[in-house]
Structure 1
């Protein structure tokens, strides 16, 4: 029986990362740009039977949010840029890997150059390999995403087996791709490598106790939903603080510590990127004012100013570009 496999590689630049939704198989991610200047993003995916191996590079500060696949467990880590990256507002340590139970939400926030790796696998397949190799199953938590710590050099070893598989798939693509036998061999090697890494890991200091970062992540999500709900133009930060139960000063400190920016800038980034995505997808009947109003901008001159300052062009120029394409 043929062992199905496929490989894809895609490059994004300019505004394109804002439309890169399919970066994790089986789900959808929203990318938010802090600027459109010199943005460059690369995405690779290797599919082997029922597992997916994916990696993405960003050369710019980025916010990405979505949820993990509902039918599989994900094992992720930062191959580069861990010191500049937060996952669900928690700073990532160099030798940590993250376990994402099926369907959990993910907020990826990178302040500079970064590269992530994600291994998507059905839990029963992972456990079967674990029992084959050690005679026992893995202990996996299911309530929320969490981190575990690898021995020194463990992340580098995982990066190496990841890159070996992706590089081989890329080289063979021009000659018709992998044979079924080779795909099965790589499938087994990847599963064994990731299972061994999980058994070698120990709990992170963050994972065994209630996390203040988790509470702050939920708070940021709740505040954002309040701001983006309906077409309220400018929800006052004082009102947001009052509804959240925090003082203005506490709210400011939580946002700065958790996502590296003020609440006002975080919400403005979300709204401007919503407008950007809509303008890029507009049909012939769509107008700039309609998009602006949808995202809470009632003063067109202010909207144009904020938009141009962030993305380097007027919203009308983005709209014209979408109509040409």
Structure 2
């Protein structure tokens, strides 16, 4: 007799909580930082099938997420909904445009304001190729390292988005025991729309997977700048020092940061400190006070820190500390 299965899970993060969002993609850790003021809410869903998984998250405010996908798994990712294209590894990606990542590939991503739902399928390369041969009669051109993406035809983008949305909506309505045949039908639908999307986009020269030199350089500069600024979080922002460290002009840095994060490096520095302060307050458990946390992350004026904190997170530092 077939064993019953419980493959679907859903949870809501009400108020920004970086720790709760770390594992929103199965077997990965994506660090996330809030990039805009207001009340943050995320609805995260997961479907686990015998040979692959699908994760999806709907966010009310833009964040910046950085991490690597699972070893041994191809990652197929997309924005199910986004008002404007999202920034990913140095390029702009529209809703419904498939991104194909080799095993253990990195992703830095930021949506534009206005609400965002993402989805990621993790699947072994051999399984994906086996299913592709059955569906489209050939293996897919998958990257051996790195990732690729190219603009999707409107029909392909729509079919992929609608397929993901429909499967998640149906799974959310499941009641009681889920039978294997139900799961098999959902798996078939997802594999079909993802394979069709990749097959429609994997033509053209192999260099398409690596992105342009300009894209790679922009992404590298942003990563180097972020690494440098993370070491300076207890110091005031110094644009000249950052520019000298990278060998890049201040105006160019401003443009690159606005593309990647939606704001300049000075505001990035401030938001990064506020996000770290929030994490510290959440983990304090009475061991430290607001003043000590504010001072630790370079906020000399407690009143200004409290105002900025409330503007971004919608609550006072003391509320977070108590919470």
Does the C-alpha gap of structure 1 residues 51 and 294 become closer, same or farther in structure 2, counting only changes over 3 Å?
A: farther
Match of 1:218 in 2: 220
Match of 2:195 in 1: 195
Find the residue that maps to 1:153 and give its secondary structure: helix
Instruction: Give the C-alpha shift of residue 103 in structure 1.
Output: 1.9
Instruction: Give the C-alpha shift of residue 242 in structure 1.
Output: 0.2
Runs in 1 of length 4+ with deviation above 6 angstroms? none
TM-score computed with the length of structure 1 as normaliser: 0.87
Q: Does 1:60 align with 2:64?
A: no
Q: Which stretch shows the higher mean deviation, 125-134 or 239-248?
A: 125-134
Q: Does 1:117 align with 2:99?
A: no
Query: Deviations along 1:253-308, whole A, 9 cap, x unmatched?
Result: 22223332111111221221111122112222123344334434455454334323
Instruction: Give the C-alpha shift of residue 45 in structure 1.
Output: 0.9
How far, CA to CA, are the matches of 2:296 and 2:105 in structure 1? 28
Instruction: Give the C-alpha shift of residue 93 in structure 1.
Output: 2.8
How far, CA to CA, are the matches of 1:139 and 1:15 in structure 2? 38
TM-score computed with the length of structure 2 as normaliser: 0.88
Runs of 5+ unmatched residues, structure 1: none
Q: Is the 8 A contact 1:149 1:202 kept in 2?
A: no
Does the C-alpha gap of structure 1 residues 264 and 51 become closer, same or farther in structure 2, counting only changes over 3 Å?
A: same
Residues 61-76 of structure 1 correspond to what in structure 2 (within 5 A)? 61-76=62-77
Instruction: Give the C-alpha shift of residue 127 in structure 1.
Output: 1.0
Match of 1:167 in 2: 169
Query: Deviations along 1:132-184, whole A, 9 cap, x unmatched?
Result: 33443211113323213333211211122223322222222x322x2023213
Q: Is the 8 A contact 1:75 1:118 kept in 2?
A: yes
Match of 1:24 in 2: 25
How far, CA to CA, are the matches of 1:140 and 1:184 in structure 2? 25
Q: Is the 8 A contact 2:143 2:209 kept in 1?
A: no
Runs of 5+ unmatched residues, structure 2: none
Alignment length (residue pairs): 319
Query: Deviations along 1:209-258, whole A, 9 cap, x unmatched?
Result: 52423222221121111121276422511111101011222212222233
The root-mean-square deviation of aligned C-alpha atoms, in Å, is 2.6
Q: Which stretch shows the higher mean deviation, 205-214 or 9-18?
A: 205-214
Residues 27-106 of structure 1 correspond to what in structure 2 (within 5 A)? 27-35=28-36, 37-81=38-82, 83-106=84-107
Residues 135-284 of structure 1 correspond to what in structure 2 (within 5 A)? 135-172=137-174, 174-176=175-177, 178-202=178-202, 207=209, 209-229=211-231, 232-284=234-286
